[in-house]
Amino acid sequence: MGIFFGDYYVGLDVGRYKAEGVKLKKSGKKIETVGVLTVPYANKAFDGEVIADESEIAVALGKIKMALNINIEDHITTALFPDRILFRKLELPIMPRDQAANAAKFQIVKELSISPDEINVEVEVRQKGMAALDVSSFVVKVEDISTFNGLLFKAGLPFPDILDAGYFKYNYLVRDKFFKGVSFVVVEDISSTYVELFKNDWLIGIDSIPTGSEGLEELDEDMILSHYTDLNNEIQNMARMMLSRYSMAEVVVENLIYVSEFMKNVHIWEKSVNNLNLAKNVLPYDKVIVENSNLPLAAYSLAMRGVRENTKNKFLQKKGSKSKTS
């Protein structure tokens, strides 16, 4: 086992209701699952999107570390909470990627009136026409990264090799064909629902709706169904606004994929999607993935990203299906 890269890949999902871990072993082209653990929080760990009890999260992560025997040679991929990440779409003149990253950071610092030392900016760049770049920018406060890494430190875990964006954490198990053409991925978090717009695997934009899964565990099925009926209307309105914003109002949307942080409610959500007529196909997450849906899906997805990229010290991921299986 190498000093920098071992044969083991860990996906850690620090969820709003539980923490989950999946450990994979890669031998040549063979990938096997060698460890899985889900630890529901014994007490409320989040008050909305705010951490209410760091020790609750650290204890859960510590149990995962012990059960999966996670060590410094393991390749660890995890995801920062989606509300901690600011997305900006920019258009810049043609320039090298490093210069584009600096230019994006300059614009964002000016817009937010913040010190450049207080933020990390990661970009994904694609040429747009003959003279411009299409730049997806992701902005995170250094303080938020430190707070997140502090949770891992308290659990005795190494810092992650890849830190992803929370709204992308499910994307790496989705079959490539579902990102052909124009597609949406909708992720319901605890207090917000994130709407991701892709065109041929390229992220066009992200927006959010101030409605999430918090409190649904206390409701009966009829009330949960009513929640999702209302949420679907908000998703449809948001999706149409995004298509208009990016000059795509007349395009045909192939797929809309939906998933919730409170996964057990997805089967109820599925009963309400008849009022979602935006896309040709409206599909729950477990119908579009190639992997074993009996595993903790976000953690498994993150582990698979680590396997396919096999890189160190990478911040975020912008594309929908990069490095996924067909």
DSSP H stretches of helix in the chain: 54-68, 97-112, 142-154, 221-245, 266-270, 297-309
| pLDDT value at residue 130 | 86
| pLDDT value at residue 318 | 40
CATH topology for 8-82+142-168+293-315? Nucleotidyltransferase; domain 5 (3.30.420)
Q: Locate CATH 3.30.1490 in the chain.
A: 85-140
| pLDDT value at residue 291 | 67
| pLDDT value at residue 251 | 95
Q: Locate CATH 3.30.420.40 in the chain.
A: 8-82+142-168+293-315, 175-287
CA pair distance 69, 157, nearest whole angstrom: 10
Identify the CATH homologous superfamily for domain 175-287. Answer: ATPase, nucleotide binding domain (3.30.420.40)
Beta strands in 28-98 (DSSP E): 30-40, 46-47, 50-51, 75-80, 85-93
CA pair distance 59, 46, nearest whole angstrom: 14
**CA proximity to 271, closest of 232, 238, 240:** 232
CATH topology for 85-140? Dna Ligase; domain 1 (3.30.1490)
The tens-digit pLDDT sequence of the chain (326 residues) is 334 456 999 999 999 999 999 999 998 889 999 999 999 999 999 999 999 999 999 999 999 999 999 999 999 999 999 999 999 999 999 999 899 999 999 999 999 999 999 999 999 999 988 889 999 999 999 999 999 999 999 999 999 999 999 999 999 999 999 999 999 999 999 999 999 999 999 999 999 999 999 999 999 999 999 999 999 999 999 999 999 999 999 999 999 999 999 988 999 999 999 888 899 999 999 999 976 678 999 999 999 999 988 755 555 544 443 433 33
